């Protein structure tokens, strides 16, 4: 049972436009959400996070939105740059019994086209 779902395996966006990556979760105990970026043959790199007490968190070109009622979060990248081409993983954790690390989605491969 996949508790964190990224339904788009890939996404192609033109350079300079907005990239929107989506993530859905099913476990209502999740209260902390993260996005990781991964280049081929490298480890995932932490990008941005959001706590369930917020509905938006912004860091430079990256903004994460959380809709708790819909159990949905999204990552917006504006403007998209060629270096943003990578696989993006959504992850979630439950702080109460959160000793089981993070639960990851399967990732979305973002391709920024020139």
Q: How far is the CB of 77 from another protein (least distance, A)?
A: 19
Nearer to another protein, 45 or 81 (CB): 45
Length of the chain: 114
Chain-centre distance of CA 18, in angstroms?
15
Say if strands 72-77 and 62-67 run parallel, antiparallel, or are unpaired.
Answer: antiparallel
Point out which residues bind another protein (CB under 8 A): 32, 34, 36, 41-46, 49, 89, 91, 93-95, 98-107
Other C-beta atoms within 10 Å of 36: how many? Answer: 21
Nearer to another protein, 77 or 90 (CB): 90
What's the CA gap between 35 and 89, in Å, rounded? Answer: 6
Nearer to another protein, 19 or 93 (CB): 93
What's the CA gap between 111 and 41, in Å, rounded? Answer: 17
Q: How far is the CB of 15 from another protein (least distance, A)?
A: 27
Nearer to another protein, 90 or 112 (CB): 90
Q: How far is the CB of 19 from another protein (least distance, A)?
A: 19
> What is the Cβ-side half-sphere exposure of residue 108, based on CA atoms within 13 angstroms?
24
Q: How far is the CB of 29 from another protein (least distance, A)?
A: 11
């Amino acid at each position: 049972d996949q508790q964190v779902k990224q339904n788009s395996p890939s996404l192609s966006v033109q350079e300079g436009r907005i990239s929107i990556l989506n993530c859905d979760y099913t476990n209502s105990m999740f209260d902390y959400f993260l996005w990781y970026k991964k280049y081929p043959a490298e480890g995932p790199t932490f990008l941005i996070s959001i706590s369930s007490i917020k509905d938006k968190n912004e860091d430079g070109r990256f903004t994460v939105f959380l809709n708790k009622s819909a159990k949905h979060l999204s990552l917006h990248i504006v403007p998209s740059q060629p270096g943003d081409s990578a696989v993006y993983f959504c992850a979630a954790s439950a702080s109460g019994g959160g000793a089981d690390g993070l639960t990851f989605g399967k990732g979305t491969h973002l391709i920024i086209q020139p």
